[in-house]
Amino acid sequence: MGVGGKLVSIVAPFYNESEGVWIFYEALRAMASTVPDVRFEFICVDDGSRDDTLVHLLAANRLDPRFVVVELSRNFGKEAALTAGIDTACGDAVVPIDADLQDPPTLIPKMIEEWRKGAEVVLARRTDRSTDTFLKRKTAEGFYRLHNKLSTVAIPANVGDFRLMDKVVVAALKRLPERQRFMKGLFAWVGFKAVTVDYARQPRAAGKTKFSGWKLWNFALEGITSFSTAPLKVWTYVGTICALLTLTYAAYIVIRTLIYGIDVPGYASVLVAILFFGSLQLISIGLLGEYIGRMYLESKQRPTYLVRKCHRQGTE
């Protein structure tokens, strides 16, 4: 389909990114100048930043009306901020992008070209992640492999939030009601006709990452429990195997006692067995708690985010 004169919305969540706002501003303006037959709006979502990120975003909004600033009432997290940006976007296509510019805006014209050819989703796949640490690369690789084995919805490996989505895909995303959102999984779940373009991941333009190892672990756990009940099924099998092993060992003890008589019990082996099975029980209860906790949060039906103010030139 032709997209001459169509509107493309670029969505970027910001949290304590004051050092990179103007780098982002210049990069997006430069990219937009290379695609003169497409109109752009840049949806910048301030996710309750504690520095002066919002001040800089509002200054960018005053200089260029294409920069729309969505100010959330507090910090809701990246997934909620990304949802807020997508909900605000008015474009015929939407492109989520990180504010740190590790996903290069210079790839967007190529994504638009694939959109012109009829793709409803254009995935940006990282072929070079040398700017990430070795540990981050390996844990990301392990997460994708584990998630895709456990879930019926496969997430493309080395594909993040950076992609182009046609408005029909965005409309489908907006129909998904869950509050605890794992956007990569939701993007994959809706499907639609997709093509892939490759790129090399860039170093951060400014500032430091906001994702610690603990946050990434919780994020991975969120992704797995959002799209698979396989962990619950695994513990059914673990319990069955442990029960069979226990019955086998009990039969062995009975037979040995009948043949050799009663000997002095082994306190060490009993202690090890109690601690081992107690640990299994605690792990399984914790896993159940993850799913029950998700049900509890979803049952409250609180909104995913709250907007304090949306700054558009001419509408304030």
Residue boundaries of the structural domains of the chain: 7-225+304-311, 230-300
Sheet with 93-96: list strands edge to edge: 194-200, 121-128, 159-166, 93-96, 7-14, 39-46, 67-72, 307-311
Range from 54-58, 214-218, 251-255, 272-276 that averages highest in pLDDT: 54-58
- Token output for 212: 């610690």
Taking each helix axis as running N to C, give the angle between helix 213-227 and helix 183-190, from 0 to 180 degrees, rounded to the nearest 10: 30
The kind and range of the H/E element at 209 are none
**Whole-number average pLDDT of the chain:** 77
Supply the pLDDT for residue 102: 84
Q: Find the range with the poorest average confidence among 24-28, 84-88, 209-213.
A: 209-213
Q: 39 near 73, Cβ under 8 Å?
A: no
Residue 40 pLDDT > 60, yes or no?
Answer: yes
Among 12-16, 109-113, 237-241, 259-263, the range scoring the smallest mean pLDDT is 259-263
Mapped onto helix, strand or coil, the DSSP state of residue 152 is coil
CA-based nearest residue to 157, from 106, 120, 109, 123? 123
Burial bucket for residue 167 (CB in 10 Å: 0-12, 13-18, 19+): middle
Q: What is the pLDDT of residue 2?
A: 42
In the chain, pLDDT over 90 holds for what percent of residues?
8
Closest CA to 184 of 217, 154, 160, 219: 160
Tell the residue number behind the tokens 């509408």, with chain if given. Answer: 315
Structure tokens at 19: 């050092």
In the 3-class helix/strand/coil scheme, how is 288-300 assigned residue by residue?
A: HHHHHHHHHHHHH
Residue 1 is predicted with a pLDDT of 39
Query: pLDDT band at 140, cuts 50/70/90?
Result: low
260: left (phi over 0), alpha (psi -120 to 50) or beta: alpha
Q: Tell me how far CA of residue 60 lies from CA of 68, 96, 100, 267, in angstroms.
A: 9, 19, 16, 71
Q: What is the pLDDT of residues 232-258, one digit of tens each?
A: 667 666 777 776 777 677 677 667 666
CB atoms within 10 A of CB 298: 13
Q: Of the given ranges (119-133, 186-200, 279-293), which has the lowest mean pLDDT?
A: 279-293
Q: CA separation (Å) from 150 to 43, 137, 156, 225, 226?
A: 34, 20, 14, 10, 11
- Residue 49, pLDDT above cutoff 80: yes
Query: Looking up tokens 């619950």, which residue turns up?
Result: 232
DSSP secondary structure code for residue 105 in this structure: G
Pick the CATH number of 7-225+304-311 from 3.90.550.10, 3.20.20.140, 3.40.50.720, 2.40.37.10: 3.90.550.10
The Cα–Cα gap between 74 and 245 comes to: 52
Higher pLDDT, 37 or 293: 37
Residues 258-280: what's their mean pLDDT? 64
pLDDT attached to residue 11 = 92
- Pure H helices in the chain: 21-33, 53-63, 78-88, 108-116, 134-150, 167-174, 183-190, 213-227, 230-260, 267-300
Decide if 65 contacts 314 (C-beta within 8 A): yes
**From CA 254, how far away is CA 268, in angstroms rounded?**
19
